[in-house]
Structure formats: C-alpha cells, structure tokens
Amino acid sequence: MSDPNFDYESGFGSQNNLPLDDFINTAPPRSGFPWKWVIIGVAIVAVIGILVGVGIFLWPKIIVLPPEKTVEAYYQALNAEDLEKASSFMDHSAGEVVTDMPITFIKKQINELSGGVLNASVDIGIEFQGLSFQTLTKDKTTATVEVKGHIRITEINSNFNLSLPYNWTHELTYQNGKWLIKP
C-alpha cells in the first residue's frame, strides 16, 4: 500500500508529518505477568533452602569441639553443679561413670589429709577458678588435655575458704563425632 502524500525518503507524510502506517499497525506493548522474575525468585529460594538444609544436617559433623573445649565445657558444668550436663561430656561406653571425678577425688584427698576429721558429713563446696586448657597429645581417636588453675574449697557451715593450685590431666576418646572424657 503506497500513500501519495508520504515522502518515503524522509519517512514523513504530508499530513502532520507522521507516517500513518506506523499508527495503524503498531500495537501497544504487552504487559503480561512477569514469569521470568517468578522463575528466578523460585530458583533463588530453592538454592537457599538447599544450602540451609545441607547446613543443618552437616553442621554437627563439620563443627566438632576440640578436646580442650570439651574439657572446658565439662568444668563449666561442674562449676554450675549441673552433673547431668557434665555427664554428657563423659565416655559411658565402659559402664557406670563418676561424673564429678575431680571433685570426688579431691574430697577423698581432703578426708585422707585431715586424718578423717573432714569426712563426708562435712559440707564442702568446690569451685574451679582461672583454668587453662592445653592439648598435650592428639590423634584421630585419642587426646590428652591438661588443666591448670586453682580450686577454691569452701567449708559451707563455717564459710572457711582455701584456694589451692589445681592440675589434672584428662584422657579423651573420639566417638560418634565428638570428644568424650574417659573416666
């Protein structure tokens, strides 16, 4: 279709200087639903979900407390008098475990040193203070951790306090993805 009023070289018609065919055949731009952005958004959410899911299941296997942190957590539980939590850091595979073994040992030593005067009937409180933890040996399944610091012994009824140097060496074993203290 040719228009006698249209100047094909300049691209403008004689009426209003605009090509009429452009107005007749030009449809407005489509404004449909933005499926492209929906698909991109769903893909991003799926990737984040997969990463979080993998992280939740692998995190405990990736992050393992080193032996000295296990022993430190054990002493924190003892100071808090939370024997159940302290027990969770112990190796129970050999049978019954004395969870508060340093405390039990110290109370026995106090009893022996006092010639039986300070026996089990005396109420003694024990608190570990200023502890430092050092891994002495470590391989894939065993470790040795030395604990140094002070122990504060308090006779509860008289409020008598005694602070003594403290040094204890713990043997640990690696089982089920975590370090456990051997009894």
The pLDDT of residue 136:
94
The pLDDT of residue 60:
55
Helix, strand, coil shares of the chain as percentages rounded to 5? 35, 30, 35
Each residue's pLDDT tens digit, 153-165:
887 777 778 888 8
Q: With pLDDT > 90 as the criterion, what percentage of the chain qualifies? A: 23
Taking Cα atoms as reference points, which of 98, 108, 92, 95 lies closest to residue 78? 98
The pLDDT of residue 131:
94
- Is residue 87 within 8 A of residue 65, CB to CB? The reply is no
- Assign 127 to helix, strand or coil: strand
DSSP state of 110: H
Q: With pLDDT > 70 as the criterion, what percentage of the chain qualifies? A: 63
Each residue's pLDDT tens digit, 43-91:
999 999 888 877 776 665 556 778 999 999 999 998 888 888 888 888 8
Q: Where does the pLDDT of residue 183 fall: very low under 50, low under 70, confident under 90, or very high at 90 and above?
A: confident
Each residue's pLDDT tens digit, 163-173:
888 898 999 99
Question: Is the whole model's pTM more than 0.75, yes or no?
Answer: no
